[in-house]
Amino acid sequence: MRRGILGGNLNRPFFNSVIAFIGAMLIVFIISYRVYVVGKSNELFLVREQTRNIKEKIENSLNYSVSSTRLLAFLVEKDLVVSDFESLAGRILSANQSIDALQLVEGGVIVKTYPLEGNEAVIGLRITDNVHHRRASEKAKARNSLYFEGPFALKQGGMGLVGRLPVYRNDKFWGFSAVVIKLDSWIESLQLGLESTQELYSIHLAKINDDGVETYFSFSGDEIQTNGLYQTAYIEEGDWKLYVRLNNPRHLQEAGLFLVFGLIFSGLLAGFVYQKTAEPIKLRRLVSNKTDDLEVLNQKLKNRAADLSRSNQELEQFAYIASHDLQEPLRMISSFLALLEKKYGQQLDDRARKYIFYAVDGSNRMRQIILGLLEFSRVGKNGGKQEKVDLTQVMEGVCQVFRNRIRELDATVQALGLPVVHGYHFPLIQVFQNLMSNALKYHSEERRPEIRVSAYEEGDFWKVSIQDNGIGIAPEYFDRIFDIFIRVHRKEEYEGTGIGLATVKKIIERWGGRVGVESQLGVGSTFYFTIPKKLVNTN
């Protein structure tokens, strides 16, 4: 019995390693197949996009021919071209650089061509004598639209395309207005002969004949291959079939490479499982040692937590002492200003008294802000007090803080429909001050600042918006500006620390709300935040 158990224990490492190898290989095969499928799909998408782009290039280049032949046909119909063909054709060609020559075909005979130099051989040519020209002409007449023949060897030399548009005079067939496009210049204008394009793709154009047989022409200089990854597109203007093939698809190679590495990984995993299963005593010893290490680490963490708790208490005490010590100079400033007004009041004019009033008022406001900072630093740690806060009054207070800046910029501030919320008073002042400061700071030099503050209900939240007509923000900064120390502008352009909006985000998100911005450069920005109608205790 003991021998059977021992034998089972000896076989277990091998069994576990086999199971691990099979399981890992199964996962590797699945992922490799997904790599193959996704890679093939992505490369097919690239080929489809390339095919679509090339088709658009070809069709766009032929559009010039459509407009040119229609104009020439119109002039023939109105009998305005025979006497001055060269001048009119020259103007048409100068406006359409992708066309090499224009022709008039009366009946089935070429009677006019421009430019004549180099094309003399085609004058008097009867196109109906050639079976291919005749069939192409018949298709143009049947479609009553511009139809291209070719590529084929031109009578005047070289390879090219000829597009013919039927012309009717007095409801009777007169002939064709035609364009000639030389193949070399056409390929150059399409930019399909570029080395980078030829390296990636094989591009062919197939002429679909009446019998369904395709005659191929290569843009990339190689023979057509209809295997691998390729796409086709039909070009109606010439009964062409466009073939675009990816030369070196990589999806199979990538999937195979992943499979090879997966085999190596599976073998290593099997060896690892075998080793770990064959050494239970070592593993138990290791677990025991790790358990002891974890106990030591837990004790260190407890000690660290205690240190952090003491540090937080010391920081709270420091904040309290600092705020208390900062209030003393403010009280001294207020006292001395009051004594100054009392002693020299008779010698001061109204403006001086107003300055003293503003200074005392500013000192008192700074004292309130310091007290509020102390209270905010303790929210969530020592029971910050929630209360009903009238956002209209908050805005009025904020406008008083910025009254000199508002007056200096001749700005208008409008607050509409601001609610009374249940929350923390000072953090809300911080939020509005930061957003108002930004609206005034980033104003446009071309117009007076206009700031509109509004609020409306959004489910269980109030959504508050601060809209300005300032310089605006580029879209790529919409998310980043709420990160700490992120600045859109250089310090030389605008003052600031990059902390204000991060502070707004931290306050609002702590209450379960969200912040955001909508902006357009040169038009203005709208910053918004949401706060719950029933603010839960965030302590």
Residue where one domain finishes, among candidates 260, 278, 296: 278
CA distance 45 to 246: 11
Neighbouring C-beta atoms of residue 227, cutoff 10 Å: 6
Asked if 524 and 502 touch (Cβ cutoff 8 Å), the reply is no
Amino acid occupying residue 105: V
- Domain assignment present for 296: no
Distance of CA 242 to the CA centre of its chain: 32
Q: Give the CATH number, domain containing residue 454.
A: 3.30.565.10
Domain contains 217: yes
Instruction: Evaluate the omega torsion of the peptide bond into residue 151 and state whether it is cis, within 30 degrees of 0.
Output: yes
In a domain, 48, yes or no: yes
Picking from 9, 538, 5, 32, the residue whose alpha carbon sits closest to that of residue 266 is: 32
Q: How many domains does the chain have?
A: 2
* Confidence (pLDDT) at 6: 43
> 267 and 133, same structural domain?
yes
Is there a contact between 239 and 208 (Cβ–Cβ < 8 Å)? yes
Would 290 be classed as within a structural domain? no
* CA–CA distance, 107 with 126 (Å, rounded to integer): 9
For the chain of 539 residues, list the mean pLDDT of each consecutive stretch of 10.
46 81 88 89 90 89 85 84 79 84 90 89 90 90 90 88 91 91 84 71 82 71 72 89 88 87 86 78 67 84 77 64 66 78 77 79 66 49 68 91 90 90 86 89 89 92 92 84 66 59 85 90 92 68
Question: Do 273 and 395 fall within a single domain?
Answer: no
H or E stretch including 445? none
Q: Is residue 108 domain-resident? A: yes
CA atoms within 13 A on the CB side of 363: 19
pLDDT attached to residue 496: 54
Tokens of 409: 């910029």
Domain boundary residue among 239, 256, 278?
Answer: 278
We report the CATH number of the domain holding residue 41 as 3.30.450.350
Residue 357 forms part of a structural domain = no
pLDDT in the model for residue 383: 40
Query: What are the residue ranges of helices labelled H in 345-424?
Result: 350-378, 391-401, 403-409
189 lies in the same domain as 60: yes
CA distance 483 to 505: 8
The answer for residues whose C-beta is within 8 angstroms of residue 21's C-beta and 6 or more apart is: 266, 267, 269, 270
Residues 273 and 405 in one domain: no
pLDDT at 216: 74
Among residues 278, 294, 317, which one ends one of the domains?
278
pLDDT at residue number 386: 80
Q: Are residues 272 and 408 in the same domain?
A: no
Q: Which amino acid is at 218?
A: S
516 and 394 inside one domain? yes
Cβ 443 vs Cβ 493: under 8 Å: no
CB atoms under 10 Å from CB of 381, counted, come to 12
Q: With helix as H, strand as E and coil as C, how does 118-178 read?
A: CCHHHCCCEHHHCHHHHHHHHHHHHHCCCEEEEEEECCCCCEEEEEEEEEEECCEEEEEEE
Residues in the chain: 539
Whether 27 and 162 share a structural domain:
yes
In a domain, 7, yes or no: yes
* d(C-alpha 226, C-alpha 246), whole Å: 11
Q: Do 13 and 151 reside in the same domain of the chain?
A: yes
Reduced 3-state DSSP string for 463-509? EEEEECCCCCCCHHHCCHHHCCCCCCCCCCCCCCCCCHHHHHHHHHH
Residues 6+ apart with CB under 8 A from 487: 496, 498
The answer to whether position 374 is within a domain reads no
Tally Cβ neighbours within 10 Å of residue 330: 18
Rg over alpha carbons for the chain, rounded to the nearest Å, is: 41
Q: Are 270 and 401 members of one domain?
A: no
Q: Copy the structure tokens of residue 517.
A: 């911005």
Residues 144 and 7 in one domain: yes
- Residue range of the domain that includes 485: 384-532
Structure-token pair, residue 516: 């955001």
pLDDT at 374: 56
